[in-house]
Structure 1
Amino acid sequence: MESHHDSFRRMPRLTGLIVSACLFTPAFAAVIDCGEEHFVSGSQRMPTYAEAMAQCRAEEAAMTHPQNGAYHRARSCYDAGSPGAYGAWTHGRVAVDVVERDTGRAATFESLWMCKPTMARAGGGTAME
Protein backbone atom coordinates (compact mmCIF):
# COMPACT_ATOMS: atom_id res chain seq x y z
CA MET A 1 0.00 0.00 0.00
CA GLU A 2 1.23 3.46 -0.90
CA SER A 3 1.91 5.95 1.88
CA HIS A 4 0.73 9.54 1.77
CA HIS A 5 4.37 10.61 1.58
CA ASP A 6 4.90 8.61 -1.67
CA SER A 7 1.79 10.05 -3.30
CA PHE A 8 2.92 13.62 -2.47
CA ARG A 9 6.25 12.94 -4.21
CA ARG A 10 4.38 12.13 -7.42
CA MET A 11 2.19 15.26 -7.24
CA PRO A 12 4.80 17.70 -8.65
CA ARG A 13 5.36 15.47 -11.69
CA LEU A 14 1.65 15.07 -12.33
CA THR A 15 1.01 18.78 -11.75
CA GLY A 16 3.86 19.68 -14.10
CA LEU A 17 2.43 17.42 -16.79
CA ILE A 18 -1.04 18.96 -16.47
CA VAL A 19 0.31 22.52 -16.47
CA SER A 20 2.44 21.76 -19.55
CA ALA A 21 -0.56 20.38 -21.39
CA CYS A 22 -2.57 23.49 -20.54
CA LEU A 23 0.19 25.89 -21.55
CA PHE A 24 1.12 24.24 -24.82
CA THR A 25 -2.35 23.22 -26.01
CA PRO A 26 -4.32 26.21 -27.28
CA ALA A 27 -7.76 26.67 -25.77
CA PHE A 28 -9.22 26.75 -29.28
CA ALA A 29 -7.60 23.46 -30.30
CA ALA A 30 -11.00 21.97 -31.12
CA VAL A 31 -11.31 20.89 -34.73
CA ILE A 32 -12.61 23.59 -37.03
CA ASP A 33 -15.06 21.80 -39.29
CA CYS A 34 -15.55 24.01 -42.33
CA GLY A 35 -18.30 23.68 -44.89
CA GLU A 36 -17.57 23.74 -48.62
CA GLU A 37 -18.46 27.42 -49.08
CA HIS A 38 -15.52 29.81 -49.55
CA PHE A 39 -15.38 33.49 -48.60
CA VAL A 40 -14.83 35.52 -51.77
CA SER A 41 -13.99 39.22 -51.94
CA GLY A 42 -13.46 40.53 -55.45
CA SER A 43 -10.99 38.13 -57.06
CA GLN A 44 -9.71 36.83 -53.71
CA ARG A 45 -10.97 33.41 -52.57
CA MET A 46 -9.99 32.56 -48.99
CA PRO A 47 -8.96 28.97 -48.22
CA THR A 48 -10.78 26.98 -45.55
CA TYR A 49 -8.91 25.98 -42.39
CA ALA A 50 -8.05 22.51 -43.78
CA GLU A 51 -6.88 24.01 -47.08
CA ALA A 52 -4.69 26.60 -45.34
CA MET A 53 -3.15 23.94 -43.08
CA ALA A 54 -2.47 21.63 -46.07
CA GLN A 55 -0.90 24.52 -47.99
CA CYS A 56 1.23 25.41 -44.96
CA ARG A 57 2.51 21.83 -44.65
CA ALA A 58 3.35 21.66 -48.37
CA GLU A 59 5.22 24.98 -48.25
CA GLU A 60 6.99 23.97 -45.04
CA ALA A 61 8.18 20.73 -46.67
CA ALA A 62 9.54 22.66 -49.66
CA MET A 63 11.22 25.38 -47.55
CA THR A 64 12.87 22.89 -45.19
CA HIS A 65 13.81 20.22 -47.76
CA PRO A 66 17.21 18.81 -46.66
CA GLN A 67 18.90 19.44 -50.04
CA ASN A 68 16.88 22.24 -51.67
CA GLY A 69 15.33 24.20 -48.81
CA ALA A 70 16.65 27.53 -47.62
CA TYR A 71 15.38 26.99 -44.05
CA HIS A 72 15.51 24.68 -41.05
CA ARG A 73 12.19 23.93 -39.33
CA ALA A 74 11.78 25.67 -35.99
CA ARG A 75 8.07 25.06 -35.39
CA SER A 76 5.73 23.14 -37.69
CA CYS A 77 2.43 24.54 -38.96
CA TYR A 78 0.23 25.75 -36.11
CA ASP A 79 -2.72 28.03 -35.32
CA ALA A 80 -1.32 31.54 -34.86
CA GLY A 81 -3.95 32.82 -32.45
CA SER A 82 -7.56 32.28 -31.56
CA PRO A 83 -10.08 32.19 -34.41
CA GLY A 84 -12.26 35.24 -34.88
CA ALA A 85 -15.74 35.71 -36.28
CA TYR A 86 -17.14 37.87 -39.05
CA GLY A 87 -20.88 37.27 -39.16
CA ALA A 88 -21.40 33.57 -39.88
CA TRP A 89 -17.75 33.21 -40.94
CA THR A 90 -14.86 32.07 -38.77
CA HIS A 91 -11.35 33.22 -39.64
CA GLY A 92 -7.81 32.79 -38.41
CA ARG A 93 -4.15 32.39 -39.26
CA VAL A 94 -1.90 29.38 -39.77
CA ALA A 95 1.85 29.90 -39.35
CA VAL A 96 5.16 28.08 -39.63
CA ASP A 97 8.41 29.15 -37.93
CA VAL A 98 11.71 28.57 -39.73
CA VAL A 99 15.38 29.57 -39.46
CA GLU A 100 17.42 30.61 -42.49
CA ARG A 101 20.20 28.09 -43.14
CA ASP A 102 22.75 30.70 -44.28
CA THR A 103 22.18 33.50 -41.78
CA GLY A 104 20.47 31.84 -38.82
CA ARG A 105 17.71 34.48 -38.92
CA ALA A 106 14.31 33.33 -37.70
CA ALA A 107 11.21 33.94 -39.79
CA THR A 108 7.50 33.21 -39.49
CA PHE A 109 5.28 32.72 -42.53
CA GLU A 110 1.54 33.08 -42.05
CA SER A 111 -1.51 32.30 -44.14
CA LEU A 112 -5.09 33.43 -43.60
CA TRP A 113 -8.16 31.19 -43.71
CA MET A 114 -11.89 31.80 -43.50
CA CYS A 115 -14.89 29.46 -43.53
CA LYS A 116 -18.40 28.85 -42.29
CA PRO A 117 -18.21 26.23 -39.53
CA THR A 118 -20.60 23.30 -39.84
CA MET A 119 -20.43 22.45 -36.12
CA ALA A 120 -19.88 24.47 -32.97
CA ARG A 121 -16.38 24.38 -31.54
CA ALA A 122 -15.60 23.43 -27.97
CA GLY A 123 -18.72 22.81 -25.97
CA GLY A 124 -20.73 20.52 -28.22
CA GLY A 125 -23.26 23.11 -29.35
CA THR A 126 -25.50 22.93 -32.39
CA ALA A 127 -24.72 23.72 -36.01
CA MET A 128 -23.66 27.31 -36.58
CA GLU A 129 -25.01 27.77 -40.14
Structure 2
Amino acid sequence: MARRHTCHSSRPLQPSGHRPECPSADPLVSLPAFAARRCLLRHLYERGAALLYHGDFDWGGLRIPSALLRRVPWRPWRYTAADYRVAALARPDCPPLAGQRAEGLWDPDLQQALLELALRPSRGRDGP
Protein backbone atom coordinates (compact mmCIF):
# COMPACT_ATOMS: atom_id res chain seq x y z
CA MET A 1 0.00 0.00 0.00
CA ALA A 2 1.39 3.41 -0.97
CA ARG A 3 1.76 6.02 1.77
CA ARG A 4 1.02 9.70 1.28
CA HIS A 5 1.90 12.32 3.92
CA THR A 6 -0.48 15.27 3.77
CA CYS A 7 -0.62 18.72 5.29
CA HIS A 8 -2.56 21.86 4.56
CA SER A 9 0.46 24.16 4.32
CA SER A 10 3.19 24.30 1.71
CA ARG A 11 5.77 25.20 4.39
CA PRO A 12 7.06 21.61 4.76
CA LEU A 13 7.82 21.62 1.03
CA GLN A 14 10.13 24.61 1.34
CA PRO A 15 13.85 23.95 1.86
CA SER A 16 13.78 25.45 5.36
CA GLY A 17 10.96 23.08 6.24
CA HIS A 18 12.84 19.90 5.34
CA ARG A 19 11.64 17.03 7.47
CA PRO A 20 14.12 14.15 7.83
CA GLU A 21 11.39 11.96 9.35
CA CYS A 22 9.45 12.15 6.06
CA PRO A 23 11.55 10.13 3.62
CA SER A 24 11.58 11.31 0.03
CA ALA A 25 10.19 7.92 -0.98
CA ASP A 26 6.92 8.92 0.75
CA PRO A 27 5.48 11.82 -1.26
CA LEU A 28 4.16 14.83 0.61
CA VAL A 29 0.94 16.32 -0.71
CA SER A 30 0.32 19.95 0.24
CA LEU A 31 -3.16 21.21 -0.53
CA PRO A 32 -4.26 24.60 0.78
CA ALA A 33 -7.80 24.45 -0.68
CA PHE A 34 -10.15 22.12 1.21
CA ALA A 35 -12.14 21.00 -1.86
CA ALA A 36 -8.97 20.21 -3.81
CA ARG A 37 -7.49 18.38 -0.84
CA ARG A 38 -10.61 16.31 -0.32
CA CYS A 39 -10.89 15.41 -4.02
CA LEU A 40 -7.25 14.40 -4.40
CA LEU A 41 -7.08 12.52 -1.12
CA ARG A 42 -10.29 10.64 -1.91
CA HIS A 43 -8.74 9.70 -5.27
CA LEU A 44 -5.54 8.46 -3.61
CA TYR A 45 -7.45 6.58 -0.91
CA GLU A 46 -9.68 4.81 -3.44
CA ARG A 47 -6.53 3.61 -5.18
CA GLY A 48 -5.10 2.09 -2.02
CA ALA A 49 -2.98 4.88 -0.49
CA ALA A 50 -2.68 5.03 3.29
CA LEU A 51 -3.13 8.70 4.20
CA LEU A 52 -1.19 10.29 7.08
CA TYR A 53 -2.15 13.87 8.06
CA HIS A 54 -0.43 16.65 10.00
CA GLY A 55 -1.85 20.10 10.61
CA ASP A 56 -1.62 23.07 12.95
CA PHE A 57 -1.98 22.73 16.69
CA ASP A 58 -4.73 25.31 17.04
CA TRP A 59 -8.55 25.32 16.88
CA GLY A 60 -8.72 25.82 13.12
CA GLY A 61 -6.11 23.12 12.80
CA LEU A 62 -8.54 20.74 14.51
CA ARG A 63 -11.60 21.81 12.50
CA ILE A 64 -10.04 21.28 9.04
CA PRO A 65 -8.86 17.67 9.48
CA SER A 66 -11.99 16.74 11.46
CA ALA A 67 -14.10 17.79 8.47
CA LEU A 68 -11.74 15.91 6.18
CA LEU A 69 -11.87 12.77 8.35
CA ARG A 70 -15.66 12.67 7.93
CA ARG A 71 -15.07 12.26 4.18
CA VAL A 72 -11.69 10.53 3.75
CA PRO A 73 -10.01 8.10 6.19
CA TRP A 74 -6.54 9.14 7.39
CA ARG A 75 -4.22 8.52 10.35
CA PRO A 76 -2.38 11.21 12.32
CA TRP A 77 1.23 11.96 11.43
CA ARG A 78 2.87 13.62 14.46
CA TYR A 79 -0.59 15.02 15.25
CA THR A 80 -1.74 13.69 18.62
CA ALA A 81 -2.04 15.09 22.13
CA ALA A 82 1.40 13.65 22.94
CA ASP A 83 2.92 15.38 19.88
CA TYR A 84 1.27 18.68 20.85
CA ARG A 85 2.61 18.49 24.40
CA VAL A 86 6.15 17.90 23.14
CA ALA A 87 5.92 20.81 20.67
CA ALA A 88 4.31 23.24 23.14
CA LEU A 89 6.63 22.44 26.03
CA ALA A 90 9.66 22.81 23.75
CA ARG A 91 8.53 26.37 22.96
CA PRO A 92 7.01 27.95 26.08
CA ASP A 93 7.39 31.40 24.45
CA CYS A 94 5.15 30.54 21.48
CA PRO A 95 1.93 32.53 20.94
CA PRO A 96 -1.10 31.80 23.09
CA LEU A 97 -3.90 29.70 21.70
CA ALA A 98 -6.89 31.82 20.62
CA GLY A 99 -10.25 31.35 18.98
CA GLN A 100 -13.26 29.12 19.38
CA ARG A 101 -12.51 25.62 20.63
CA ALA A 102 -12.90 22.59 18.35
CA GLU A 103 -12.62 18.84 18.66
CA GLY A 104 -9.98 16.62 17.04
CA LEU A 105 -11.96 13.56 16.02
CA TRP A 106 -8.84 11.38 15.64
CA ASP A 107 -7.56 11.99 19.19
CA PRO A 108 -10.05 12.76 21.97
CA ASP A 109 -7.19 13.88 24.26
CA LEU A 110 -5.93 16.58 21.87
CA GLN A 111 -8.66 19.12 22.71
CA GLN A 112 -7.95 18.76 26.43
CA ALA A 113 -4.20 19.15 25.87
CA LEU A 114 -4.79 22.40 23.95
CA LEU A 115 -7.06 23.69 26.73
CA GLU A 116 -4.49 22.82 29.41
CA LEU A 117 -1.38 24.32 27.77
CA ALA A 118 -3.14 27.02 25.69
CA LEU A 119 -0.11 27.49 23.42
CA ARG A 120 0.15 27.56 19.62
CA PRO A 121 3.53 26.13 18.58
CA SER A 122 4.41 26.90 14.99
CA ARG A 123 5.74 24.44 12.46
CA GLY A 124 9.02 26.21 11.92
CA ARG A 125 12.19 24.55 10.71
CA ASP A 126 12.49 22.34 13.75
CA GLY A 127 8.79 22.27 14.60
CA PRO A 128 6.32 19.42 14.50
Using the size of structure 2 for normalisation, the TM-score is: 0.21
- Pick the structure with more strand per residue: 1
Q: TM-score, normalised by structure 1?
A: 0.21
Rg (Cα) greater in structure: 1
